[in-house]
Structure 1
Amino acid sequence: MTAETSAQTHDRARVQRRTIATTMVSVIPTTMAMGASFAGSAVLAEEITGSETLATLAAGSMSLGSMAAAVPLSRRMARLGRRQGLVVGWALGAAGSIAALLAAVLNLYLLVVLGIIGVGVGQATNLAARYAVADLAPDDRRARAIGMLVWASTFGAAAGPTIALGPAADFAEFIGLPELAGPYLLGSATFLAGLAITQTWLRPDPLEVLGTVGAEAPRPASPAAVIRRIAAIPAARLALLAMLVGQMVMVAVMTATPLHMTSGDQDIAVIGQVISLHIIGMYAFSPIVGWLVDRLGTHTVITLGGLILFLGAELAGHTDPQHSAGLFSGLTLIGIGWSCGLIAGSALLTNSFPVHQRVEVQGGADFVMITGGAVGGMSSGALVELLGFQSLSHYSGIAALVLVAAAAGAWITARLARPRPAA
């Protein structure tokens, strides 16, 4: 079936409305599953092993799952459609949550790691879902469609940690399971809920309407190729730096925060609330950040994001483990700073390349960004054990100031390079 014939078969506007509604309803439970599973990962691993290093390695393994799943998911979607890719990805996320649940019951660290890798596959699927709502959207409404999905993701991602470490943990104890099995009861149930919604109602598949199902997926750019290409363009270098620094700072501090709070004997429900506010900072303000990028420019918002990251990291680092107010504020600011870097950096990167190079560069840049987040998350425990949470947060803040300096320098260079009007 050709693209023209397929498009004539379906009312594209009607299918697009159905696709947006179905995908929005699907990602609310699946992002809740991701938030719930991540919130309990470091605490569960530390309870089993007694090691902060092993605990943050387990939490950071979510990024490994996301990195490993990105290309296979895209190839499956190209061959079989969005629905088949989303369903398989969320099924693997549910399997990961079940494995982590068994780890809590059996006290097996390896199962925690394997389970969180599976949850990472579910997280990669959550990210891929935004392309489903973009497939049939008109050019002048595509960003709006993606924004709607990101907004929907906010609710599940923010509520997940609070429910997981509060009511879900209490329910697990009520039925005779360990308290930290609760997040994974919730995670498996909500991954399966999103899967069922998509399997039932994402019909027709948007790629079937476009007539592209079965086309061979393009080979993604390797990190080395991305670095070489980006290195040749100053604006692109700054864009990748903004996304990379934001991801590393955010993941490193967020991963270590639950461990810092448990060392102060704080209740796990409070830990869940801190992570929930952090996630709200990451996603809920994205429409405002996008508006600021359009009004003030990418360099200004990258600079602003770096300053917010610095303030958030320092505020969190100077909060004693038995107190939570500074952690609530600091983690929320880190989420907003991450949003600034991601949105402004993505826009600047896209504008730095011709259309035929954008998808490859964006995919490779995202791989580099996820890799940086994995390094930040998996090394944060060792740094906390070696130097302490305050030092980890302080050095994260310094990294954010490096981004501020780079953005300011790039802005000054661009201004000086502008041709001056003739006298």
Structure 2
Amino acid sequence: MPDSAALVPERSRPWRGVPGFLAGATALAALGLAAGGTAGTLLATDLADTPAVAGLPVALHLSGSAVGALLVSHQGSLGHRGRGLALGLLIGAVGAAIVVLAAARGSLPLMLAGSTLLGTANSSIFLVRYAAAQAVPDGSRGQALGTVFFATAFGAVLSPLLFGPSSSVARAAGFPALAGPYLVALAAFSLSALLLAAGTTPRVPLLGRAARVLTAGTRGTPGGLRLQEALRTRATAVALCALAGANFVMVGIMTIVPVHLDRHGAGHGIVGFLVALHVVGMFAVAPVTGRLADQHGPVPVVLAGAVVSLGACVLGAFGDGGATPMTTVYLVLAGLGWNAGVVGASALLTESAPESVRTHAEGIGEATMGAAAVVAAPLVAAVPAVWALPLLGVCAGALTLLATAELRRVPADRRDPIQRTSM
């Protein structure tokens, strides 16, 4: 008897390489991440000739990311997940081009408008993890999420390292040096969008075999009541709270720590090195946390992330703000806590949301993370320095208590998901 798989046309078979393909596209796009952070702050300060506007591009970038998440997830709900991801990256590329033009013309308003559009690329980069989870069986979703996050680490770590070379390229092309990271973002987002578009088109050799995943969806917007009911289930609510809490704590820490280091005399090289260690903690351990979510369930991973984040806040509160070993430890712990919280919560959200509203719920989760970041950055910057880390510790503690309460209610068989029980 012939192998039954041999009777199935090659392009109609599931492609086991989909998570790897998506991870590669994500790593490429992540090369442009530095444009929305350090480069935006420096460019805005340079254009306005005052540090008072330094936070504006970051806030607008995060706002654009939150709105972009809803746009991308809406496309996914219509059966156009790949198209939505590519669209978000292309809009981000347009935003990068606008910022380059703004830098050349010396226009702060134009730069802020471009920064807002740039944020939509972030939403695509981080929503790819859900497409990877959809491409594998239920018991491997955490690992697929971790694979994409691990790939993000390559781009996220390399992105700031391209700051100097890209500035030289920008000057050689007749642009201001600070336009360099945005030129990298323009190229990275555009190429990644092309890869995802190719994966969405079945006619494209090899890559087109990802179309089964990238065109999956409900092909119809669910009713508002049905989506509301899905978001009110206990597991989905925990996932959304965990995503928001993890991002709130991490963004809060990274808003104040560089300032503290600078005030205590740490050079830019030391600050950059410590931030790089933090980024490694955020992404590099994702395959491990993803596998743990598959083996033990996502809620224990969320709980572990909350506890680690709480520990980071406690250590930070007792630190002196300088470049000490304690600072290094709590920055790495902050990254590890964020990773466990986001990977665990993402796996929980994927399990708990019904398939008919899953892509909408994923977009809401990403928008919730963006909203938490938009609140955290100015809030932590506004409170006195001695209160900042204790405030974040309270938030991490609340998340720990929430996850602990839910952990006690997880069924013995983790394959009987808790999402069936309403709050």
Given the two structures, how large is their TM-score scaled by the length of structure 1?
0.77
1:33 Cα deviation from its structure 2 partner? 0.7
Structure 2, unaligned runs of 5 or more = 1-6, 203-207, 412-423
**How far apart, CA to CA, are the structure 1 residues paired with 2:18 and 2:297?**
32
Alignment RMSD, CA only?
4.0
Correspondence 1:121 to 2:120: yes
Residue 394 (structure 1) aligned to one of 384, 390, 395: 390
State the secondary structure of the residue aligned to 1:16. Answer: coil
**1:343 corresponds to:** 343
Are residues 75 and 414 of structure 1, via their aligned partners in 2, closer, same or farther at CA, if it must alter by over 3 Å? closer
Query: Is the CA contact (8 Å cut-off) linking 2:96 and 2:186 kept in structure 1?
Result: yes
**How far apart, CA to CA, are the structure 1 residues paired with 2:282 and 2:16?**
26
Deviations 1:311-370 (CA, angstroms, capped at 9, x unpaired): 323445666666375554333211111122223334455666666665555544443333
**How far apart, CA to CA, are the structure 1 residues paired with 2:72 and 2:192?**
17
**How far apart, CA to CA, are the structure 2 residues paired with 1:374 and 1:385?**
13
**How far apart, CA to CA, are the structure 2 residues paired with 1:213 and 1:222?**
22
**1:421 corresponds to:** none
**2:375 corresponds to:** 375
**How far apart, CA to CA, are the structure 2 residues paired with 1:143 and 1:414?**
17
Are residues 9 and 75 of structure 1, via their aligned partners in 2, closer, same or farther at CA, if it must alter by over 3 Å? farther
Correspondence 1:86 to 2:82: no
Deviations 1:157-187 (CA, angstroms, capped at 9, x unpaired): 22212322x4334554566644432322222
Are residues 109 and 21 of structure 1, via their aligned partners in 2, closer, same or farther at CA, if it must alter by over 3 Å? same
**How far apart, CA to CA, are the structure 1 residues paired with 2:300 and 2:87?**
40
1:30 Cα deviation from its structure 2 partner? 0.5
Identity %: 25
Given the two structures, how large is their TM-score scaled by the length of structure 2?
0.77
Map 1:318-333 to 2 at 5 A.
Answer: 323=323, 326-333=326-333
**How far apart, CA to CA, are the structure 1 residues paired with 2:299 and 2:145?**
23
1:68 Cα deviation from its structure 2 partner? 1.5
Are residues 413 and 90 of structure 1, via their aligned partners in 2, closer, same or farther at CA, if it must alter by over 3 Å? closer
State the secondary structure of the residue aligned to 1:66. Answer: helix
1:250 Cα deviation from its structure 2 partner? 1.2
**2:148 corresponds to:** 149
1:387 partner letter = P
Are residues 36 and 318 of structure 1, via their aligned partners in 2, closer, same or farther at CA, if it must alter by over 3 Å? farther
State the secondary structure of the residue aligned to 1:216. Answer: coil
**2:282 corresponds to:** 282
Residue 188 (structure 2) aligned to one of 187, 190, 197: 190
1:128 partner letter = L
**How far apart, CA to CA, are the structure 2 residues paired with 1:354 and 1:76?**
17
**How far apart, CA to CA, are the structure 2 residues paired with 1:21 and 1:224?**
31
Deviations 1:97-136 (CA, angstroms, capped at 9, x unpaired): 2223344444433233322222211111113333444555
Deviations 1:290-314 (CA, angstroms, capped at 9, x unpaired): 3444556655443432232133234
Are residues 147 and 412 of structure 1, via their aligned partners in 2, closer, same or farther at CA, if it must alter by over 3 Å? closer
State the secondary structure of the residue aligned to 1:190. Answer: helix
Deviations 1:179-233 (CA, angstroms, capped at 9, x unpaired): 4323222222222232343445654246854796797342486999379714xx3
**1:418 corresponds to:** none
Are residues 346 and 144 of structure 1, via their aligned partners in 2, closer, same or farther at CA, if it must alter by over 3 Å? closer
1:148 partner letter = T
Correspondence 1:181 to 2:185: no
Deviations 1:2-50 (CA, angstroms, capped at 9, x unpaired): xxxxx9654344x624644543332212012124432322333344446
**1:99 corresponds to:** 98
Q: How many residues align?
A: 400
Map 1:213-362 to 2 at 5 A.
Answer: 216-219=219-222, 225=228, 229-230=232-233, 233=234, 237-263=237-263, 267-293=267-293, 300-316=300-316, 323=323, 326-348=326-348, 361-362=361-362
State the secondary structure of the residue aligned to 1:154. Answer: helix
1:92 Cα deviation from its structure 2 partner? 1.3
1:64 Cα deviation from its structure 2 partner? 1.4
